[in-house]
């Protein structure tokens, strides 16, 4: 196992005493050797197994020399867009270019290309015609089969074909990458590596593929969106490592098949501990210091990853396709060892910022059968109601938090990852809620009800609004008992499939009753490989093929977003228009239940001012301007 940073240039490689490398890892992110970054984990796993790995972070995709830094690797290139899909990294939901990139030194935007894995792989192919290329990371993982691409507004082929790569290691790749490396190292040609779980390959015939479920061809998917909805749901039902089937997607124009093998088996707790015990440097490469470092490290530097996977099953989340629904956890001992490393850091101020994962308060599989039989294909653990087989307990998490809090040098342990409030409500014991409010909230607890309309919540795969309202009441009562003045900050989403103006107004009324305006609004973002994105593209819910209303018009989306921030004066006209269209002009007025007040109008040289009594006082525009001038200047 290599100590220090892995090589990022030929000089580093030679300093290691190497004349070549086994793998070159090309990443769209800057090199940050921290276990929150995919490139750090995969390169450390390979290094631990004796492979020499060089890293080329953010190569110049316009210059093929940039990927020739280490020469031709002995076994292959590993290519990833980084910790985010490059298109999400580059563009807002309104398709406007973002100004900063947290995964680049100095936060500079533009250091990676759009559709990064495709561009990087094609760049490599210009130089190395036959060297194996293995794709990984979330961009490749979620684009592994035909997928709807929001930015081009069309259905795209598997990224394996457009990139010219040989294999995709999808999901969490610790197992599959080692099996690929061992197969290549043993002399197996990359075109013959068609059998590894957690991988996607391409074949010209199905002679070497057994027990595959044949999906509709890409041509059939393009011809009829309903074919895509059916195909997507087949994929969704085969994301489990124990029950998932092998899938084959035909491409008749290319006369080949893209084959998805079943997902890799989840890591045991011992294996998870090993992954996080590698000698990470836990910061960005020192070459970035001159540029101000890599901003993304700030959020994770003093946080602990407690688990992987999520059985929450939200429709708009891609975790089902990437990490899966089976919980994988680290041991208390592993987390305490890492916490002690944090405490030794010169910048540590006594605060552990987070102990969590996709969902902080999940610390065990939802039921024991998952570890042998897998998750239920067509049922959710928490939606629409908690499953009767759901094992609800926060006991292990409470003990873990108490151990961390008791470490010398630790002042406070916060929880910033998402809390599943429906899981909290399903727990008959209030011990965790008490512990949470007492010791682990920094004045505000962020939760994600997402919406208040049950119509929309059903499409989101979220619990009924009544569950959230019950949690709000319980949270307030607990804080009162503890003598604390702590608040809830709800994450809310506009324009999700199923949300019309009626539902958007319902959400605005809820915000009115809360008495605050959210500073940020998440407009639904159609990212690859989610149920919600499938609904957005096809207009049907793939789970039952029923039609779904989808707000696509940019102006309607702007109205829905404005309703959430109806108090902002800039949104007045959009809110007024939305209320008119929704037939809710009863919300325009001076009563407490109203969202906005009538505004003054200018008509025929007179300035009309609507007073609270509804009377109209007429004054000349000149007089109004005089009064304003006097008020502003004091003259």
- Average pLDDT score over the chain: 93
DSSP states along 519-582 = S--EE----SS-HHHHHHHHSEETTTTEE------HHHHHHHHHHHTTTSGGGHHHHHHHHHHT
CA distance 144 to 136: 10
Residues in the chain: 635
pLDDT greater than 60 at residue 613: no
pLDDT band at 430 (very low <50, low <70, confident <90, very high): very high
Residue bearing the bigger pLDDT, 516 or 19: 19
Where in 399-438 does DSSP place strands (E)? 412-413
pLDDT greater than 80 at residue 612: no
Q: Mean pLDDT throughout 435-457?
A: 94
Question: Looking at residue 629, what is its pLDDT?
Answer: 40
Task: Say whether 314 counts as a known binding-site residue.
Answer: yes
pLDDT digits (tens, 9 = 90+) for 249-305: 999 877 899 999 999 999 999 999 999 999 999 999 999 999 999 999 999 999 999
pLDDT digits (tens, 9 = 90+) for 124-160: 999 999 999 999 999 999 999 999 999 999 999 999 9
CA distance 55 to 458: 44
Cβ neighbours of 311 (radius 10 Å): 27
pLDDT band at 619 (very low <50, low <70, confident <90, very high): very low
pTM over 0.85: yes
Q: CA triplet 398, 403, 404: central angle to 5 degrees? A: 100
Question: Looking at residue 518, what is its pLDDT?
Answer: 82
Question: Looking at residue 610, what is its pLDDT?
Answer: 46
High-pLDDT (> 90) share of the chain, %: 87
High-pLDDT (> 70) share of the chain, %: 94
Question: Looking at residue 606, what is its pLDDT?
Answer: 43
Pair 18, 52: CB distance under 8 Å: yes
- Write the DSSP symbol of residue 586: G
Q: Round the CA-based radius of gyration of the chain to a whole number and report it.
A: 27
pLDDT greater than 80 at residue 562: yes
Spatial CA neighbour of 500 closest among 562, 571, 551: 551
Question: Looking at residue 537, what is its pLDDT?
Answer: 98
- Could you give the 3-state DSSP secondary structure of residue 257? strand
CA distance 70 to 47: 16
| 199-203 and 546-547 beta bridge pairing | unpaired
Give the relative orientation of helices 465-482 and 431-439 as an angle to the nearest 10 degrees: 60
pLDDT digits (tens, 9 = 90+) for 222-244: 999 999 999 999 999 999 999 99
CA distance 16 to 4: 10
CA distance 315 to 454: 14
| 444-450 and 487-494 beta bridge pairing | parallel
Question: Looking at residue 368, what is its pLDDT?
Answer: 83
pLDDT digits (tens, 9 = 90+) for 583-604: 999 999 999 999 999 987 655 4
Burial code (b: 16+ CB inside 10 Å, e: under 16) for 405-426 equals beeeebeebbbbbbbbbbbbbb
pLDDT greater than 70 at residue 628: no
Question: Looking at residue 16, what is its pLDDT?
Answer: 93
Question: Looking at residue 601, what is its pLDDT?
Answer: 60
CA distance 91 to 99: 9
pLDDT band at 2 (very low <50, low <70, confident <90, very high): low
User: Three-state SS across 331-385?
Assistant: CHHHHHHHHHHHHHCCCCCCEECEEECCCCCCCCCCCCCHHHHCCCCCCCCCCCC
Task: Say whether 594 counts as a known binding-site residue.
Answer: no
Task: Say whether 317 counts as a known binding-site residue.
Answer: yes
Q: Is the peptide bond preceding residue 20 cis, with omega within 30 degrees of 0?
A: no
- Range of lowest pLDDT (111-115, 433-437, 601-605): 601-605
Tokens of residue 179, six digits: 């099996």
pLDDT band at 632 (very low <50, low <70, confident <90, very high): very low
pLDDT digits (tens, 9 = 90+) for 499-534: 999 999 999 999 999 887 787 789 999 999 999 999
């Amino acid at each position: 196992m290599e100590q220090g940073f892995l090589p990022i240039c030929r000089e580093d490689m030679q300093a290691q005493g190497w004349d070549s490398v086994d793998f070159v890892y090309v990443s769209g992110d800057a090199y940050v050797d921290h276990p929150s970054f995919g490139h750090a984990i995969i390169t450390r796993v390979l290094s631990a197994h004796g492979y020499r790995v060089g890293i080329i972070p953010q190569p110049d995709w316009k210059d093929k020399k940039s990927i020739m830094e280490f020469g031709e690797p002995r076994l292959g290139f590993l290519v990833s867009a980084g910790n985010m899909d490059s298109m999400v990294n580059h563009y807002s939901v309104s398709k406007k270019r973002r100004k900063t990139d947290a995964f680049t030194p100095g936060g500079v935007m533009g250091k990676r290309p759009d559709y990064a894995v495709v561009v990087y792989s094609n760049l490599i192919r210009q130089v190395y015609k036959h060297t194996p290329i293995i794709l990984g990371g979330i961009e490749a993982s979620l684009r592994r089969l035909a997928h709807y691409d929001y930015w081009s507004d069309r259905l795209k082929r598997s990224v394996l074909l457009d990139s010219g790569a040989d294999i995709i290691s999808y999901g969490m790749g610790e197992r599959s990458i080692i099996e690929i490396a061992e197969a290549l190292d043993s002399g197996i040609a990359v075109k013959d590596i068609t059998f590894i779980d957690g991988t996607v390959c391409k074949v010209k015939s199905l002679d070497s593929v057994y027990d595959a479920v044949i999906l509709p061809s890409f041509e059939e998917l393009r011809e009829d969106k309903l074919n895509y909805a059916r195909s997507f749901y087949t994929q969704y039902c085969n994301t489990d490592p124990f029950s998932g089937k092998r899938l084959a997607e035909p491409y008749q124009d290319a006369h080949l098949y893209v084959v998805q093998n079943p997902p890799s088996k989840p890591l045991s707790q011992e294996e998870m501990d090993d992954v996080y015990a590698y000698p990470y440097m836990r910061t960005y490469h020192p070459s970035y210091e001159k540029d101000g470092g890599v901003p993304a490290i700030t959020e994770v530097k003093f946080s602990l990853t407690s688990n992987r996977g999520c059985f929450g099953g939200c429709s708009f989340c891609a975790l089902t396709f990437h990490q899966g629904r089976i919980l994988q956890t680290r041991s208390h001992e592993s987390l305490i060892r890492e916490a002690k490393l944090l405490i030794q850091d010169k910048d540590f101020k006594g605060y552990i910022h987070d102990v969590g994962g996709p969902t902080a308060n999940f610390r065990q599989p939802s039921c024991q059968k998952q570890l042998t039989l897998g998750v239920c294909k067509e049922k959710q653990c928490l939606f629409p109601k908690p499953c009767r087989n759901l094992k609800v307990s926060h006991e292990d998490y409470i003990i873990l938090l108490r151990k961390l809090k008791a470490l010398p040098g630790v002042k406070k342990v916060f929880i910033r990852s998402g809390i599943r409030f429906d899981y909290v409500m399903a727990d008959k014991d209030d011990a965790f809620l008490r512990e949470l409010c007492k010791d682990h909230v920094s004045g505000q607890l962020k939760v994600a009800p997402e919406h208040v309309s049950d119509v929309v919540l059903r499409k989101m795969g979220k619990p009924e609004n009544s569950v959230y309202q019950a949690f709000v009441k319980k949270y307030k009562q607990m804080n009162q008992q503890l003598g604390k003045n702590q608040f809830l900050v709800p994450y809310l989403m506009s324009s999700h499939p199923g949300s019309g103006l009626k539902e958007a107004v319902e959400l605005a009324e809820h915000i009115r009753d809360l008495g605050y305006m959210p500073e940020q609004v998440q407009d639904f973002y159609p990212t690859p490989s989610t149920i919600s994105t499938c609904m957005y593209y096809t207009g049907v819910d793939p789970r039952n093929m029923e039609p779904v209303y989808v707000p696509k018009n940019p102006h309607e989306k702007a109205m829905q977003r404005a309703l959430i921030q109806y108090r902002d004066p800039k949104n007045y006209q959009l809110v007024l228009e939305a209320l008119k269209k929704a037939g809710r002009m009863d919300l325009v007025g001076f009563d407490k239940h109203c969202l906005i007040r009538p505004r003054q109008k200018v008509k025929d040289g007179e300035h009309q001012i609507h007073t609270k009594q509804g009377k109209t006082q007429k004054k000349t525009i000149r007089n109004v301007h005089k009064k304003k001038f006097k008020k502003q200047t004091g003259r």
